[in-house]
Amino acid sequence: MNIDLALLDPHSYCAIDNVQYYYRPGRITWTTWYDYDELRDWIELKGLEGLPKIDSSSTVKLADCGGKLVVLWDKYVPASGDKKKMIWCTEISLERRNSEEIWGKVKWFDEVLTVPKCYKFVHAISATVPKCYKFVHAISATV
């Protein structure tokens, strides 16, 4: 699948261990850094059983969290009359099996935050803190 790099949402992709991951509706793909500057076929991330369906209208952000891929996306809350959105998060462990295969395993997913529908998803970052604390997902949004 060819992707014009100039059209990429700068926050729908992230790099983990010299591999660039990109979300496009319905799939997560990857390429290596040394192929990144060329238009090339991106390879679909295999596995991902249990990954919830992400609506094509959702804003999706990717982040590296200690070598795992974190996917954050929004979804309207129907009970709110579509006045609110719920931000969801999933953590995916990655296993490189060979030069042409990377497999992802969904470790968990859940709702993490309710926001007004007028919010704007700005960035997704993660921070690793000392071992006595669990990692923290940070979401930057404007309302």
* pLDDT of res. 3: 47
Dig out the tokens for 134 from the structure.
């669990």
Dig out the tokens for 99 from the structure.
């030069």
The more confident residue out of 33 and 85 is 85
Q: Is the pLDDT of residue 1 over 80?
A: no
Q: Is the pLDDT of residue 18 over 50?
A: yes
Rounded to a whole number, what is the largest CA-CA distance in the chain?
A: 47
Dig out the tokens for 14 from the structure.
């992230």
Residue pLDDT, tens place only, 74-115: 988 888 887 889 999 999 999 998 878 899 999 999 998 888
Percent of the chain whose pLDDT exceeds 90: 19
Q: Any idea where the domains of the chain sit in the sequence? A: 5-142
Q: How far apart are CA 64 and CA 72, in angstroms?
A: 11
Q: How many residues does the chain have?
A: 143
Cα-only R_g, the chain: 15
Whether residue 30 contacts residue 42, with contact meaning beta carbons closer than 8 Å, is answered with: yes
Percent of the chain whose pLDDT exceeds 70: 73
Q: Is the pLDDT of residue 40 over 80?
A: no
C-alpha 9, offset from chain centre:
12
Q: Is the pLDDT of residue 124 over 60?
A: yes
Q: How far apart are CA 89 and CA 114, in angstroms?
A: 12
pTM above 0.85, yes or no: no
